[in-house]
Structure 1
């Protein structure tokens, strides 16, 4: 009985910390000139701000491509720089803003070769 209770508390604490992390991201990445990722329209020029969750090298069509998942607490989007193996400063946990047009590929929202600015 004690182990089940401890497990429930641990799971609850983990779930609540994820919610808290998302709330913190939403608060941190609010900006006058930025749109929230969760409500950003497709096929229009947008400026988004968030924190990189993951960064991977994944070739697309035989071309190297640096892929990153950008999240602001309202949603996440895949950002891809074609022809790049690495970009200095682009790493998980880094905050940045990106400007570009959101597209869709295989049901996934994606932003190709955006302009970006690293946020200290």
Structure 2
């Protein structure tokens, strides 16, 4: 009944071989976010000051009205958070696939979590 030290290795190997790549990536992002001291996006509530960590899935310029807005979707393995920079057309380093740590006050717009003009840190590859 008692397992050996190798049981953990085999369990992890079987999981890696049988689990969807996107699910493994989400698990990895979630683990890295926790190690960075960030909150899980799924646990963030409107009005809270939060720090989130994840990978940018998309970045787009949204010219609404007269002012340009740069929007990026950050995914932390649990849920997405839209980062919005008002009056910006481009920010060097903010591009799809980049890992970012962002801090600000969560709002909800059209049912989605949003951070307006967040403080952010570009992360280096692991």
Same fold (TM over 0.5): yes
**Which residue of 21, 35, 41 corresponds with 1:37?**
41
The equivalent residue for 1:92 is 96
Give the CA deviation at 1:59. 1.8
TM-score (norm 2): 0.78
Give the CA deviation at 1:32. 5.4
1:111 paired to 2:108: no
Partner of 1:63, secondary structure, is coil
Q: Is the 8 A contact 2:41 2:79 kept in 1?
A: yes
The equivalent residue for 1:76 is 80
- C-alpha distance in 2 between matches for 1:82 and 1:32: 26
Give the CA deviation at 1:28. 2.2
Listed as ranges, the gaps of 5+ residues in structure 2 are 1-16
1:59 paired to 2:66: no
The equivalent residue for 1:49 is 53
The equivalent residue for 2:13 is none
Q: Deviations over 1:14-64 (max 9, x none)?
A: x81221121121122223531111111211111111111100111233210
TM-score (norm 1): 0.82
Listed as ranges, the gaps of 5+ residues in structure 1 are 1-12
* Total equivalences in the alignment: 107
Q: Please list every run of at least 4 consecutive aligned residues from structure 1 whose deviation after the TM superposition is greater than 6 angstroms.
A: none
- C-alpha distance in 2 between matches for 1:103 and 1:23: 25
The equivalent residue for 1:18 is 22
